[in-house]
Amino acid sequence: MITLLTPHFIRHLIIHTICTVTGESYEEVSVLDRVALNTRDWEQVVSRLEATLDIQTGMIISAERSISINALASELHAKLSDIIIT
């Protein structure tokens, strides 16, 4: 039986990854919906999430450097669900 990662867990993983890269506290980041990152931090966050979840998002080359934590959690959850189902 395969247990899928929940959107809630993925959201916390995103926040943890942002905090690890930027040095901001969990409390500061967890209350935000949208987070803007500089290019270096963006690449680090995206690379770490892709490596941890073993997926490719295509986000690394995006010109956008701002993410909605909740929207990203939903997108990653859907992508992981598609991989496991197919």
Please report the pLDDT score of residue 2 as a whole number: 47
Helices 7-22 & 39-53 angle (0-180, nearest 10): 140
Residues 18 and 34 sit within 8 Å (Cβ to Cβ): no
The residues facing 68 across adjacent strands are 34
pLDDT per residue over 1-27, tens digit each? Answer: 345 689 999 999 999 999 999 999 999
What CA–CA distance (Å, rounded) separates 47 from 57? 9
**Residues of the chain above pLDDT 70, percent:** 92
- pLDDT tens-digit map of 64-76: 899 999 999 999 9
pLDDT of residue 80: 87
13 vs 57, higher pLDDT = 13
pLDDT of 30 > 80? The answer is yes
